[in-house]
Structure 1
């Protein structure tokens, strides 16, 4: 899917009539917990950079809506664009449109694919998604070994939106790490997409429980889905001591669940650092400064032993 630039838009861009240092920001969804943290981080960092204004739009997980927002940013002559993708398949068209308009573009958090081939004045800021899956798997295996279930456990995976590279990478690296280590005997009983949402994850987990199969581990590609799984397990009378639940993001809701013993581990994704780096990257590109195609912020494993360190990180 490609974005069309009219002659009138191009003429408007060349006149330079729009005020400088305006960043158009399209967010995948304002309703998503982690996306909200990113939006707050973007606003906070932008307020620290003198002369930088930001305009936020909510794509509501709708690819068409996001494409319209990008078109509107280009038509308005913004100085730079930051976006969290509603669908990675739209990235080539978005990149092409921004390149034609000579507007710097920064993809944030959700990888566009082929990052190394992004045009000039474009970059990706995020975290190495395979690291998240690897850390989650190592935590799951350590807990299973304590319970003596490293060879018999039934593992269920709640995936994010399959249109996102993050979901695919977090899932594949989790499975690969289990298969290569001490827990290679476990069974991946099922893996389904709950599209990053708590409600979908609760429904999916309820279906698994209703099917009557044993559940030893639930690994979710984000904390929202992990929390949905916990709600379903508790509503069905399952004792949380009997199930290992692991998420990703280390949101405040997730840490609260860990405090009461419902969530066993999560992987901290640094929203503040990603957001600040995205603003800094956009400003650098707008200023004509060289920048790596990828700016990576490390993931960090969070367990009950160190969770207090993360209480105010996002």
Structure 2
């Protein structure tokens, strides 16, 4: 009887191992803060559902990312998740996965061919027309409340010139400052920081050394916003004199808000994007029907509601 029970238990264990799905994940870069949060969201959900996940760092190289996808296909993974380095590189990735018949889910950055994704492929992310709009409008309201509606100098820190989310967030800002309510803001400069805090620090330092005096800085992400704040503080500029807004609602950003430095950010739910991407991938493996586009809403974070978002990213 004991032998039978042992055999049954061993069979169940082996069956469980055999049924575990393997998902290959290619991330933009392990060095980008929000990509780390996405990775954690994917891993957390994988642990909950018993999936095996293999992460690869594309190191901000679209060619390397395509090679990683091809390697996933060659190794026989059950599904692939990609956070794109460059949205224009999606067609080659889409084609490779389709030809291999392996489910593919794009997370965070929508592929260029979103409207033409084949069967077994989908996107999980957030609508970027919301992100820059929410942060820019909040900055505009803050400036008006401070009595600065007669005219101020605005600067935009672009995440990456090849990243569609960064380009859309920048357009969002430009659309807001073109409205009657916010057209007192004049954009003086806009340059890329590659999403990085240190590069943003250097960028804003250069602006300041060239005579640029920002009244408001619109950063495409929190890391860039925090780099800008470091540069302003190093130049002995009071944070009360400059409005700085970002996107992501990272832990560091919320700490900066509580310290009276960052004025606002926008919560981008890394856990929902990453975990949701894994769920969609596993459903596709099982042959279940999923929506081609799965949006996770952005949410404005300011001093009035900041406590609701502590610990979420």
TM range (shorter): over 0.9
Take 1:83 and 1:30, find their aligned partners in 2: how far apart are those partners?
13
**What does residue 67 of structure 1 align with?**
66
Take 2:143 and 2:240, find their aligned partners in 1: how far apart are those partners?
12
Please list, as runs of the form range in 1=range in 2, the aligned pairs for 1:80-229 lying within 5 A after superposition: 80-229=79-228
Structure 2 residue runs without a partner (length 5+): 1-17
Give the length in aligned residue pairs: 296
Q: CA RMSD in A?
A: 1.2
Offset of residue 181 of structure 1: 3.8
Take 2:28 and 2:248, find their aligned partners in 1: how far apart are those partners?
16
Matched position secondary structure for 1:240 = coil
Take 1:66 and 1:21, find their aligned partners in 2: how far apart are those partners?
22
- Return closer, same or farther for 1:67/1:114 CA change in 2, 3 Å cut-off: closer
Tell which deviates more after alignment, 109-118 or 128-137.
109-118
Take 1:186 and 1:192, find their aligned partners in 2: how far apart are those partners?
17
Take 1:48 and 1:250, find their aligned partners in 2: how far apart are those partners?
25
Query: TM-score scaled to structure 2, two decimals?
Result: 0.92
- Return closer, same or farther for 1:139/1:99 CA change in 2, 3 Å cut-off: same
Take 1:276 and 1:130, find their aligned partners in 2: how far apart are those partners?
22
Take 2:303 and 2:89, find their aligned partners in 1: how far apart are those partners?
39
Structure 1 residue runs without a partner (length 5+): 1-17
Q: Once superposed, which parts of structure 1, at least 4 consecutive aligned residues long, lie more than 3 Å away?
A: none
Query: TM-score scaled to structure 1, two decimals?
Result: 0.92
Cα displacement string for residues 2-42 of structure 1 (whole angstroms, at most 9, x for unaligned residues): xxxxxxxxxxxxxxxx9861100011111111100100110
**What does residue 46 of structure 2 align with?**
46
Give the conservation status (yes or no) of the 8 Å contact 1:244–1:263. yes
**What does residue 4 of structure 2 align with?**
none
Instruction: Report which of the two structures shows the higher radius of gyration computed on alpha carbons.
Output: 2
**What does residue 276 of structure 2 align with?**
277
Q: Does 1:35 align with 2:35?
A: yes
**What does residue 55 of structure 1 align with?**
54
Please list, as runs of the form range in 1=range in 2, the aligned pairs for 1:252-263 lying within 5 A after superposition: 252-263=251-262
Q: Does 1:238 align with 2:240?
A: no
Give the conservation status (yes or no) of the 8 Å contact 2:90–2:113. no
Give the conservation status (yes or no) of the 8 Å contact 2:106–2:122. yes
Take 2:88 and 2:118, find their aligned partners in 1: how far apart are those partners?
16
**What does residue 12 of structure 2 align with?**
none
Give the conservation status (yes or no) of the 8 Å contact 1:267–1:299. yes
Matched position secondary structure for 2:198 = helix
Take 1:105 and 1:181, find their aligned partners in 2: how far apart are those partners?
43
Take 1:175 and 1:295, find their aligned partners in 2: how far apart are those partners?
26
**What does residue 9 of structure 1 align with?**
none
Take 1:57 and 1:44, find their aligned partners in 2: how far apart are those partners?
17
**What does residue 6 of structure 1 align with?**
none
**What does residue 300 of structure 1 align with?**
299
